[in-house]
Structure 1
Amino acid sequence: MLDGMRILAWGSRSAVELSASLLGHAGAQVHVADPDSTQSFSGYDVVIVSSDAASFAAWAEISSLKASGTLIVCDICATGPQSARFAGRWTDGQIQAITGLMDTTGFESGEPVSIGIPFTEISAALYAAAAIAAASRVLRAQGFAQNIDVSLFACASSALTTFLPKAFTRSSVERVGNRHPACAPWNAYRTLDGWVLICTSTEDQWRKLKIAINQPALDDIRFATLNERVRNVDSLDPFIEAWSSELTTDQCCALCEKIGVAAGPIVPISLLHEEPNFKLRHPVAAAEILAGEIGKHTYAAVTPFRTFPLMNDSEFHSNAPETPRRLTAKSAGYVAGLEARQGPNPAGALTGVRVIEIGQYTTAPLVGKHLAALGAEVIKVEPLEGEVARNWSPGQDGLSYFFALNNTDKKSISLDLKQASHLRYLEALLATSDVLVENLRPGALAKLGLDRSSLKEINPALIYCSISGFGIESAYPTRPAFDTVIQAMSGLMDLTRDGNGAPVKAGASAADILGGQAALFAIVAELVGQSEGSGRFVEISMQDVAAWSCLFAAGNPASKSMTIACSDGYVSAEATNSVEIEVVHSQAPGAHCEAMTRDLLIAKLESLGIAAVPVVRMDELMDDADFLADILSVGRDNEGAFWPLIKMPYRLSRTPAKVRTVPSRLEPVMVQFTEKHESTNEIPITNTHES
């Protein structure tokens, strides 16, 4: 992947160490230096720094290095260099608070909760690694280095795509705890020996669960439809918990897996080594956890992505042709066509790369969105009726803001892959593509005849990335998984608890997002190291990535903060005990924090040397100067209408990643597949239906 790349990690932020670790997993040679030491940059290709947390001398050295243009310099800071907040040494917890990320986590009737892992640092590390790989590709191909800026503030904002649509319309965003705002039943329920997450998303899943529970009360008209169940969820959940509380967690999970309903236990981080899928996939890390406490570097024993030849090594080498070939081998002009092909962003780091995306909602679409912003041509394959998320509310002109945010700069086609002609059309596209990324259930493509062996025959040079909840090699080969279940089964919910100690999921789809980010990095790294004709398989288990993040958090605990209610919202304070808060009360006799405004309480805390920031609500984020100037962007659809978009959280100085357009509506077009579509540039890329 990145063999031969030499990395110097020279910064105090967690994201610096984590990004270096990721690059090391991809084959780079990494040296982690003391951030306070003097460094020589000779012999390195990349230097990763955190200038906002550096000494003045180190900051001056970083500035000089950036100006030299001799190395790839990746600077990971809390906010963008143009931000009014740039001078502050903001922590992950403070960034979660001031971006609205914290406001989305917690129970409806409770206080906002900080995510129990340094989410913005981890997210910044993953995006930084992907941006470094992209810059390395440019360096190898075109011979010039460039600077990269990565912002924790922007990473947090990028994770808010579920909530930004309502914020765009100035609607209030409510915390939902472990529920789902549009599905029910979907919650954490008590069992005989713990907790279980049960998540239903279709009427068929509800019908099967209702039959399994066998409780006549569930036939009530209040639960007859999805909308009714969501509206009456407070009445529904007690019936589900009355059933689950009579079973063990394992019994609940086994029954749900049998009927195709996503479910999983809330796994304590200290017992992660006993979780069957984690133990199967990461025996070294499991043994290390079993042998003692989770250490500072235990996380490094977990690989957040896996890569293999498109087939096994022996078959790959024995069958590899002397010259690259595709399914459309009769097209002798393929290589020339690849070199001449221009993506939507000609200046991008991935110009000339074609990507096929088959997925929905968050993970695969996130990957495709970033590959497109980096310059690749991304073709999104949707079902005939289009992805369900197209129709979610709110939106405009019949398209949801959520879908628009997650699918910028892509070409959309609609195919019914159960129809032979549509499947052949997809195969022809794959023969002319560089990357396939999908987040279907494991084995779904294989059932259509597109297993790894077939994909290798179609295109020996293809990079195929599969994203799933538990991976291809799994203790749960048939278990469906949602983000909520993965948060539960990776330790993330155990680490994220409210003031009463109750486990709660991150409001943002943390497992989905982190899984997509890991896939993005692995794909770009494969594009850097790929030799012509050497197809690769990238396997992403969302549980792997989330567990990697949780083990880092457990082994490298951050300072705790307190959430304090005020008259106009909440404040997040780095006050570690109630005694310090009582000191604040004594400064205003007869008054309590609840009677103060956030600004007043923050001023009083800071006068006592206690750092504090407001917990910004999502609707307030729309008025934040940094968000408006450095994060929010605007794009257009094919009809010329304007759409709010979010800029990339990483900025490459010479090959910038850009968001520009919103996907068009799907229009019915006849698939006319014939043998004449053999060459790269003759395959029609249009919205497709077959009558």
Structure 2
Amino acid sequence: MTFTTPFSDIVVVECGRRTAVRACGNLLAEMGAKVFTATGPETEASFSRFKTELTPAALALQAGRASVILHSSDRDDNIVFPAQRPDQIVCDIVVDADPAVKGRGMWSDPLLQAQIGLADLTGTANSDPTICDAPIVEAQTALFAASGILAAWRHRAANGRGLSFRISLLDCGLNNLSTFLPLLYGSKVPRRSGNRHPMAVPWNSYRARDGWVLLCSATDEHWGRLCEVMGREDLRSGAFEKLADRVAACDAVDAVVEAWTASLTVNECIARLGAAGLAAGPIATLKDLRDEPNLRHRGTISGEPGALPQSFAKTAFSSGAVPVAHPLPAPASSAADTLPLHGIRVIEIGQYTTAPVAAKHLALLGAEVIKIEPPSGEASRAWPPHQDGQGYFFTMNNTNKQSCMLDLRIESDQDGFRRLLETADVLIENLKPGSLARLGFGTDVLAALNPGLVYCAISGFGQSSAYPGRPAFDTVVQAMSGLMDLTKVNGVPTKLGTSVADVTGGIAGLFCLLAGLEQRRRTGRGLMIDLAMQDVAVWLTQAVWNGNAPEPHAVVRCVEGFVVIDRPDLEIAGQAAHLTREAVLALCAAAGIKAAEVRTLAEIGADSGVVGRGAVVLFRGRDGCEWPLFRPLLRFAGIPPVALVPIGELGEFNAHL
């Protein structure tokens, strides 16, 4: 089920046709908010559900009564309804955070993907940059915007005053680069690698008799198991024995694997690989998703006709939950200039991306975040490139947190964990499903320890899953959600170059936790959120379901790079090969065609408007190291943003236990 308390007192007026605006409105409508929007074309049905369509005149009248105004001030089709009451919340979704930058308001998602480096990282070594047909940047921004509105609602409940904030599509999109920006500090230049992994082989898409299979093998042990499954135990030793050997001979290894997969059906491949504990999945088309077993199990797709992805927010009350006698009061702090989550304590047991990203954004909204790490530290803490043993990737994903070192297998450390849980408002983790229960902290135990706890577990396929125990890498989730079907290179389904499923899973976790805190404020009861990355990734694709065409675009090769234009134009494409990107952009402007250069990671890193003064700021930590940290995306007018602080050494919080 989804959230049980409808937020019907949240009344939203949606102004304009930007995809991020409409998707944000739909997220709130699925939570039970009343959302009013302008009458729109049938093709926008995916973002018109659960809303009331009004004429412009009726919408203007409703705007004066609404509690939330959602618009895009940089678009030509934006309807201007200025806030008329001090308790209104105003969210302005724009392309560029700098209001001085003009002319980008009508940019499409393909142009956004070009500008944030996603296009340059997507495709193969021999292909041009590739665009995903799903509106990735718009959808991620919608999640951030909806999260900002829920955070502002909490602030409004505390002191009766609304908040306004502007959120940038480009800045939200740049947050996908947490895995890649660190490479600049290790003097590495990432290349488009298709479905391959630069440090793990075999890791690729392979043809089966009736479709495509995605396989992720990361270690020599995995290779040994795969050799056994393929009946090629002779390959466990010799030329392919070690990972470094396989990386050097990746073409030959892939040929061996595909010779085996091509002899079987997709289902036969997956069954045999799964039985061996290897991460694998079918590469699903959008049509396949209607009958995909896990999505059916979780009720992710609405029924026919016009099937569409439904809410990814699956919640439940534990059977052992003890309700609080009455709804909790408004947030403790009512200062008008206090961040919305001031006074909230978050416990995170996170690794890599999803849970760490969600908890980081809670910290940037003012929450106290205590990150539980094992004695050896979180797995990515020492990932290179690093400074003094601490990795850039880890630091960028764990801003404004305090590290608490606990071994949850030891009774004394379990006692410390219990004490933290008793004082916490939120617990978020992305452990393998069932891990906490095996340590003695199942949902019933958590509810008994703290009836008001809002608990979010993020996993690849969910706690309630048709695939219990199946490993889930970002690449596998992209394959099984339709994202790769929407990102083809010469007909081959291809993953997006960044970890889009991981990052979006984290943003969805942020949204679900803010909704959970609001439900707790109203009911006094905690809840458990079962968030599956597959559900979230499928949600990203909904704009192109049921025959809806993706946004048109063309990738044009220039002298020194590429330009993406928002419609194919043979004349410009024919001239571009002899022109610079700047000259091609000028041609497009003269022809009235929106266009953007495909920026490389190196160009983005060298742009002081991005790193230094923009989405990423440089911060000197207590250790004397200079760290690139993402600036808070949700910055509210009249409230100073949180001061950015890199996470400190392992176990720094233990003195406070």
**TM over 0.5, shorter chain:** yes
Matched, 1:239 2:256: yes
Any conservation in 2 of the 1:281–1:473 contact (CA below 8 Å)? yes
Query: Where in structure 2 are the equivalents of 1:333-372 lying within 5 Å?
Result: 347-372=338-363
Number of the residue aligned with 1:401:
392
What residue identity is the alignment partner of 1:651?
R
1:602: how far off? 2.7
Query: Where in structure 2 are the equivalents of 1:461-472 lying within 5 Å?
Result: 461-472=452-463
1:28: how far off? 1.5
Q: Aligned partners of 1:349 and 1:526: how far apart in 2?
A: 14
Give 1:42's match in structure 2, choosing from 40, 56, 64.
Answer: 64
Number of the residue aligned with 1:593:
576
Moved more, 209-218 or 101-110: 209-218
User: What per-residue deviation string (whole Å, max 9, x for no partner) do you get for residues 62-113 of structure 1?
Assistant: 4x428x6441000111111435246542221111111212111111221111
Q: Which runs of 5+ in 2 are unaligned?
A: 41-54
What residue identity is the alignment partner of 1:618?
L
Moved more, 593-602 or 39-48: 593-602
Query: Where in structure 2 are the equivalents of 1:479-490 lying within 5 Å?
Result: 479-490=470-481
Q: Aligned partners of 2:375 and 2:333: how far apart in 1?
A: 31
Q: Aligned partners of 2:256 and 2:170: how far apart in 1?
A: 41
Relative distance call for 1:320 and 1:583 in structure 2 (3 A) is: closer
Relative distance call for 1:533 and 1:71 in structure 2 (3 A) is: closer
Number of the residue aligned with 1:144:
161
Q: Aligned partners of 2:573 and 2:429: how far apart in 1?
A: 53
Number of the residue aligned with 1:622:
605
Give 1:32's match in structure 2, choosing from 30, 33, 37.
Answer: 37
Give 1:4's match in structure 2, choosing from 9, 19, 44.
Answer: 9
What residue identity is the alignment partner of 2:206?
Y
What residue identity is the alignment partner of 2:412?
S
Matched, 1:320 2:323: yes
1:421: how far off? 1.6
Relative distance call for 1:640 and 1:371 in structure 2 (3 A) is: same
Matched, 1:644 2:634: no
Q: Aligned partners of 2:639 and 2:618: how far apart in 1?
A: 20
What residue identity is the alignment partner of 2:597?
P
1:660: how far off? 0.8
Any conservation in 2 of the 1:374–1:656 contact (CA below 8 Å)? no
1:11: how far off? 1.8
Relative distance call for 1:502 and 1:415 in structure 2 (3 A) is: same
Number of the residue aligned with 2:73:
51
Any conservation in 1 of the 2:354–2:506 contact (CA below 8 Å)? yes
Aligned-CA RMSD value = 2.8
Any conservation in 1 of the 2:20–2:139 contact (CA below 8 Å)? yes
Matched, 1:568 2:560: yes
Q: Aligned partners of 1:610 and 1:218: how far apart in 2?
A: 54
* 3-state secondary structure, aligned to 1:31: strand
Give 1:581's match in structure 2, choosing from 559, 567, 570.
Answer: 570
Moved more, 101-110 or 129-138: 101-110
1:470: how far off? 1.2
Any conservation in 1 of the 2:337–2:638 contact (CA below 8 Å)? no
Q: Aligned partners of 2:482 and 2:117: how far apart in 1?
A: 23
Number of the residue aligned with 1:507:
497
1:253: how far off? 1.2
Matched, 1:80 2:97: yes
What residue identity is the alignment partner of 1:519?
G
Any conservation in 2 of the 1:518–1:545 contact (CA below 8 Å)? yes
Give 2:431's match in structure 1, choosing from 418, 426, 440.
Answer: 440
Any conservation in 2 of the 1:634–1:660 contact (CA below 8 Å)? no
User: What per-residue deviation string (whole Å, max 9, x for no partner) do you get for residues 556-615 of structure 1?
Assistant: 433321112222111112233xxx324653xxxxxx533322222333344334332211
What residue identity is the alignment partner of 1:25?
E
User: What per-residue deviation string (whole Å, max 9, x for no partner) do you get for residues 521-557 of structure 1?
Assistant: 1101121231474111111111111112212233543
* 3-state secondary structure, aligned to 1:567: coil
Matched, 1:272 2:289: yes
Relative distance call for 1:165 and 1:372 in structure 2 (3 A) is: same
Query: Where in structure 2 are the equivalents of 1:160-179 lying within 5 Å?
Result: 160-168=177-185, 171-179=188-196
Q: Aligned partners of 1:31 and 1:346: how far apart in 2?
A: 30
Q: Aligned partners of 1:602 and 1:42: how far apart in 2?
A: 41
1:149: how far off? 0.9
Q: Aligned partners of 2:16 and 2:638: how far apart in 1?
A: 23
1:237: how far off? 1.6
Number of the residue aligned with 1:19:
24
Q: Aligned partners of 2:484 and 2:168: how far apart in 1?
A: 25
* 3-state secondary structure, aligned to 1:539: strand
Q: Aligned partners of 2:203 and 2:143: how far apart in 1?
A: 29
Relative distance call for 1:214 and 1:119 in structure 2 (3 A) is: same
Q: Which runs of 5+ in 1 are unaligned?
A: 326-334, 586-591, 672-683, 687-691
Number of the residue aligned with 1:307:
315
1:625: how far off? 5.2
Q: Aligned partners of 1:52 and 1:217: how far apart in 2?
A: 62
Query: Where in structure 2 are the equivalents of 1:39-118 lying within 5 Å?
Result: 39-40=60-61, 41-55=63-77, 58=79, 61-62=80-81, 64-65=82-83, 69-85=86-102, 88-118=105-135
Relative distance call for 1:284 and 1:508 in structure 2 (3 A) is: closer
What residue identity is the alignment partner of 1:53?
R
Identical residues among aligned pairs (%): 38
1:514: how far off? 1.5
State the TM-score, normalizing by the size of structure 1: 0.86
